[in-house]
Amino acid sequence: MNTKTLQQCAQVSQELVVRPDWISVTFHPGEKSLIGLARWICQEVFWFQIGPELHGKEYYQYLVPILDGRKRIGSYLYGGNGDTLSFTLTGEAFERIYADDQAAARMARFQRLIVRYGGRITRIDLCMDDYEGNFGLDFAKTAYEQDLFHGRGRPPSNPEYKNPGRGDTFYVGQGTSNKRLKAYEKGIQMRSLNRKWVRWELTLKPGKKVINPQILLRPGAVMRAAYPVMRDMPIAVEGPNVATHLVYRKMVGDANLTRLCNAVNNSYGRLFKYFRDLGIPDKLVIDAFCRPGALPPARLQEAQGDQALTKTEIMRTLRHMTQSPVRRRNP
């Protein structure tokens, strides 16, 4: 590995934690009812609910949403494709799973059921967040130029996708490949105050090989082995725990608060300034717009308990916004 790249890895003591961000598993007919198995995973392994049966897709006759409250976080498909069942959990499902202090035990049960009933992982996404931006897009581009994403066979392609105002994305591999890496500026995409936040995502499909369900228990080991550049990155082998996931949830909560405040500013900022210029007390304005008995906005309700933003954290975000005015629409 290039000396500069090695030094950059060595200077970072903070471990990068990897977790699943998507999984699709196909189960084949056997001794157990596949619909019963899907329901067992949803309701017994996890705590999710089953939605109403819908029209299917991908040559399946039926689609059943997997819900957490009113939020759709996955689905399973059945009735076709050789009587198989396709079971999918999205990134939002895994966000909820890893917020639970029993996450490791639940993931172990899920992994054992996949093995026991012959499930075949047809796609899995892994993600890791670098909140300090130590391994940003410049790092990824430099590593590519130095062939540090090149394993065996042909070197992967690296199309770049520019998304003005929403952050850049750097790809290694094509969308049709069995292995593809994406690094993008998550903080800018989320409109977070932390603009340095970078996310790396790895998508794996089986091709001619089988994806071992053990990946659910040691996702960091798979991420570390994916490309030469990652072997010296400080990647934790095990998946997240409650403490490391709390950091992520706080970052998301802060980004959601910032986006809500920006929306209020864009829509009503001039009106509030008009009231203040007339000498109307700020408290009277706030009281006039408060809705008695209303719940917090849905984006902020998702974080509860230790994951919720504290008063101090909210005040810090508001102070930052007053010091760095948000981008406003044209008057």
Give the tens place of pLDDT for each residue, 188-217: 888 777 888 999 999 999 987 899 999 999
Query: Taking 90 as the threshold, does the pLDDT of residue 327 lie above it?
Result: no
* 294 and 175 in a common domain: no
Task: Please report which residue ranges of the chain form alpha helices under DSSP H.
Answer: 3-10, 34-40, 91-98, 103-116, 137-145, 186-189, 219-226, 242-277, 282-289, 298-301, 311-323
| Average pLDDT of the residues in 3-11 | 54
Confidence category of residue 245, pLDDT binned at 50, 70, 90: low
In a domain, 305, yes or no: yes
In a domain, 283, yes or no: yes
* 261 and 211 in a common domain: no
pLDDT score, position 38: 96
Round the average pLDDT of the chain to a whole number and report it: 84
Residue 82 to residue 121: CA distance in whole angstroms: 17
Boundary-marking domain end, from 206, 232, 258: 232
* 91 and 72 in a common domain: yes
Give the tens place of pLDDT for each residue, 40-99: 999 999 999 999 999 999 999 999 999 998 899 999 999 999 999 999 999 999 988 988
Give the tens place of pLDDT for each residue, 215-224: 999 999 999 9
Give one DSSP letter per residue of 112-135, joined into a string. Answer: HHHHHTT-EEEEEEEEEEETT-TT
Nearest Cα to Cα of residue 132 among 199, 202, 229: 199
In a domain, 328, yes or no: no
pLDDT score, position 328: 46
Any residues with CB less than 8 A from the CB of 194 and at least 6 apart, and which? 131, 187, 251, 254, 255
Classify residue 279 as left (phi > 0), alpha (psi -120 to 50) or beta. left
pLDDT score, position 10: 47
Count the domains in the chain. Answer: 2
| Token digits of residue 205 | 């499909």
CA distances from 17 to 13, 54, 180, 224, 305 (A): 12, 36, 19, 11, 22
Boundary-marking domain end, from 232, 262, 292: 232
**By three-state DSSP, how is residue 264 classified?**
helix
Query: Taking 80 as the threshold, does the pLDDT of residue 110 lie above it?
Result: yes
pLDDT score, position 154: 62
Query: Taking 70 as the threshold, does the pLDDT of residue 159 lie above it?
Result: no
pTM for the model stands at 0.79
Domain that holds residue 262: 242-323
Query: Taking 90 as the threshold, does the pLDDT of residue 120 lie above it?
Result: yes
In a domain, 151, yes or no: yes
| C-beta separation of 79 from 73 below 8 A | no
* 310 and 220 in a common domain: no
